[in-house]
Amino acid sequence: MQQPDSPAQLHRENLAVEMKAASRVTIIGMILDAFLGFIKVIGGTLFHSQALLVDGIHSFTDVASDVVVLGVMKVSRQEPDDCHPYGHQRIETFGTLVLGSILIAVGAALAWENTLRLIHGTADTLPEWPVLVAAAVSVLGKEWIYRYTRHVGEAIRSDLIIANAWHSRTDAFSSLVVLVSTIGAMLGLVWLDIVAAVAIAVIIIHIGWKFTWDSVQELIDTGLSPEDTEMLKNIARNTDGVLDVHELRSRRMGQDILLDIHLVVRPEISVSEGHQIGMQVVAGMRNSLDNILDINFHIDAENDEDTYLETEHLPTRAEVGEIISKHLEDIPQRSRLRLHYLRNKLHLEIFLDEPATDGVLTQENARRQLEAYPWFGSVRIWVADL
């Protein structure tokens, strides 16, 4: 009988499939970008269209970005290791940041150059009809590769592939601008070709800024939106056994979400019950957002945001045992001790499997013996029915 794949093995297989899909769509896009860039740069030069020439340079920046994507995807899809237990997705975020920065730099240079041409009035040559053909081919080709790339990016949950898809669509937009401006220039508005070149450059800058800003937000651990955060808090609050949620922190790593949450539960419950309550909260949150990678929950017996544990030294179980043996010498050997650390005080519960032999060990006597300690809160003694 064949054994089912382990989670680690399934994770490795998913990474391999995602990497293959990302590489395939990026290589196809790179070939298309190189072809379109070539015909647009040549066409813009030969047929007097500055807008088409700028659009061709834009296509070649797509080729450069595709190379960046291929390298970054290979590294970012590596398995988690001892030094990177959460994986390498942040490399993908950094790659998106680099891609956005390239777009901003290229767009700014092109905008500046063509703005100077517009100011100096050097736009005096009419573009010719082959410019229209090149622009139309570019619009159709880039719109197709945009849709294909975005579909793959969403399927493998890759911000970098989705960003590259939008980079392709900016080329489609800019080629559409070239198409319209060329028609206007051929009708006598020659300056429209230069204005279109500046507009294309501004589009490049805008998309680059969006990629860069989103990546910076992720790299500095920007959390979920207030709406999503409140939704997750309500899921936790509505879980049976949770009294309150006094802290929820979130951050993104690529498409994945990492959460830290503090859950307040009743102080008298067992450790295992507290853990089970936490697991129920985890299940509810994962059902609400399917891209949560990890949830680290902390079980609190009280809201400790305004509790200062450093104000008093609270004894350990071993220290408490020594103190009880010192002051309550007649405590039976068969007894159990439960400790509650609440509001900087220690509350004790002593469970006796049999009554004390001399009957002196009472709750009142135990309180008098221990109340001089600054950490003492209360004591209760429970005797098993015989």
Q: What is the pLDDT of residues 287-331, one digit of tens each?
A: 888 778 788 888 888 776 655 545 457 888 888 888 887 877 666
Domains in the chain: boundaries: 7-219, 226-306, 310-383
**What's the full length of the chain, in residues?**
386
**Helices within the chain (DSSP H only):** 7-46, 50-76, 89-120, 130-155, 159-186, 192-219, 226-237, 271-288, 317-327, 363-370
Q: Tell whether the model's pLDDT for residue 1 goes beyond 50.
A: no
pLDDT computed for residue 53 by the predictor = 82
Q: Which residue has the higher pLDDT, 244 or 21?
A: 244
Question: How many CB atoms within 10 Å of residue 138?
Answer: 30
For the chain, percent of residues with pLDDT exceeding 70 = 80
φ, ψ for residue 360, nearest 5 deg: -80, -30
Percent of the chain with pLDDT over 90: 2
Nearest CA among 257, 225, 219, 210 for reference residue 92: 219
Backbone angles phi, psi at 103, to 5 degrees: -60, -45
Q: Kindly tell me if the per-residue pLDDT of 373 is higher than 80.
A: yes
What angle (nearest 5°) sits at the alpha carbon of residue 338, between those of residues 336 and 343?
Answer: 160
Classify 381 as helix, strand or coil: strand
CATH number given to 310-383: 3.30.300
Residue 2 DSSP one-character state: P
Residue 241 contacts residue 255 (beta carbons within 8 Å):
no
Write the DSSP string, 348-364.
EEEEESS--SSS---HH
Q: What is the mean pLDDT of the chain?
A: 77
CATH fold group of domain 226-306:
Alpha-Beta Plaits (3.30.70)
Least confident of 31-35, 138-142, 191-195, 349-353: 191-195
> Which residue type is seen at 61?
T
Give the integer Cα–Cα distance in Å for 154 and 290.
Answer: 13
> Which of 189-213 are b and which e, b meaning 16 or more Cβ less than 10 Å from the residue's Cβ?
ebebbbbbbbbbbebbbebbeebbe
Q: pLDDT category, 2, cuts 50, 70, 90?
A: very low
Burial 89-106 (b: 16+ CB within 10 A, else e): bbbbbbbbbebbebbbeb
Q: What CA–CA distance (Å, rounded) separates 285 from 293?
A: 11
Segment 218-229 mean pLDDT:
76
Cα–Cα distance between 183 and 131 in angstroms, integer? 10
Mean pLDDT, range 76-98, rounded to an integer:
69
- In sequence order, the 6+-apart residues with CB closer than 8 A to the CB of 175 are 40, 55, 135, 136, 138, 139, 142
Weakest mean pLDDT among 168-182, 203-217, 266-280, 370-384 = 168-182
pLDDT digits (tens, 9 = 90+) for 357-368: 555 567 788 888
pLDDT attached to residue 77: 62
User: Looking at the domain covering 7-219, what would its CATH class be?
Assistant: mainly alpha
Backbone angles phi, psi at 251, to 5 degrees: -155, 160
Cα gap 192→178, rounded to integer Å: 9
252 or 73: which carries more pLDDT confidence?
Answer: 252
312-315: long-range contacts, CB 8 A cutoff, minimum separation 24: 312/344, 312/345, 312/374, 312/375, 313/375, 314/341, 314/344, 314/346, 314/375, 315/346, 315/375
If one counts every other C-beta atom within 10 angstroms of the C-beta of residue 4, the result is 8
Q: What is the pLDDT of residue 125?
A: 64
Distance CA 18, CA 24 (A): 10
pLDDT band at 81 (very low <50, low <70, confident <90, very high): low
